[in-house]
Amino acid sequence: MAATFVGLFCALLLAPLARAEQITIAVLGDSLTQGYGLPVEDGLVPQLERWLHANGVKVTVLNAGVSGDTTAGGLARVDWTLTPDVDALIVALGGNDLLRGIAPAVARRNLDGILIAAANKGLPVLLIGHAAPGNFGADYKTAFDALYPELAVQYSALLYPDFLSTLNDGRSQTEVLQTLMQADAIHPNAAGVNLIVQSLGPVVLDLIDHED
């Protein structure tokens, strides 16, 4: 009984260690990560970093977002993104593949390469997905939507299924466009990013707890 108690006590002490130490998370993404159209402090990465600090995490979140990047662009620069100081990776790519109608098999291959690079460095990964629109047909949507959950399972990555889904929760399309999106109707405004961070933040905490 005493041994069991000591074991449980030690587990409780060890569980928050990852959050107590300074860690670095890289976010490999496109304009949604980069903060297109927003003051620097209102972008996804600064807002996420502030949220994590407010939740007691000593963390640096690196902005590895490049506007216009596809999954191919992310693959091309993943090796120099994953510097020795990076402890965990968030992959937030695929939106521009959808805008360009890039074949799901191509996007899958690129994401697979990114996840292999992270696995080779022993890094925990959070994969952020995108829901494909229906304008490329049902087969395209089915194939693209399956990429993220299947790759997450294959590489034991955490999954946030749809980058922008939280903006639509209980809101009409008109409300979303008028209050949470920029004028281009593609990129969230500061308030929209804040909502994404509130939803995404707890999953990033799970990622940090996987970092050891």
Q: Which residues pair with 61 in a beta bridge?
A: 25
Residues assigned a catalytic role: 31, 184, 187
Q: What does each C-alpha distance from 107 to 87, 104, 110, 196, 200 come to in angstroms? A: 25, 5, 5, 23, 23
> Pick from 98, 172, 155: which is nearest to 129 by CA?
98
Determine, yes or no, domain membership for 1: no
Pairing of strands 23-29, 59-65: parallel
116: Cβ–Cβ under 8 A, 6 or more apart, which residues? 155
Determine, yes or no, domain membership for 69: yes
In the predicted structure, residue 8 carries a pLDDT above the cut 80: no
Q: What are phi and psi of 125, to 5 degrees?
A: -130, 140
Determine, yes or no, domain membership for 14: no
Determine, yes or no, domain membership for 105: yes
Q: CATH code at 67?
A: 3.40.50.1110
Determine, yes or no, domain membership for 107: yes
Which one has a higher pLDDT value, 93 or 210? 93
Mean pLDDT, the chain, whole residue set: 91
Determine, yes or no, domain membership for 6: no
In the predicted structure, residue 101 carries a pLDDT above the cut 50: yes
In the predicted structure, residue 190 carries a pLDDT above the cut 60: yes
For residues 54 and 94, the answer to whether their CB atoms sit within 8 Å is: no
Q: How many domains does the chain have?
A: 1
33: Cβ–Cβ under 8 A, 6 or more apart, which residues? 27, 43, 44, 45, 63, 64, 65, 92
Determine, yes or no, domain membership for 11: no
Per-residue model confidence (pLDDT) at position 21: 78
pLDDT for 121-165, tens place per residue? Answer: 999 999 999 999 999 999 999 999 999 999 999 999 999 999 999
pLDDT bucket at 6, cuts 50 / 70 / 90: very low
- Tokens 């977002």 correspond to 65
Determine, yes or no, domain membership for 8: no
Domain boundaries, position 109: 19-210
Report the distance separating Cα 189 and Cα 127, nearest Å. Answer: 22
Q: Tokens for 187?
A: 């990129």
DSSP state of 56: T
Output the pTM of the full model: 0.89
For residues 62 and 86, the answer to whether their CB atoms sit within 8 Å is: yes
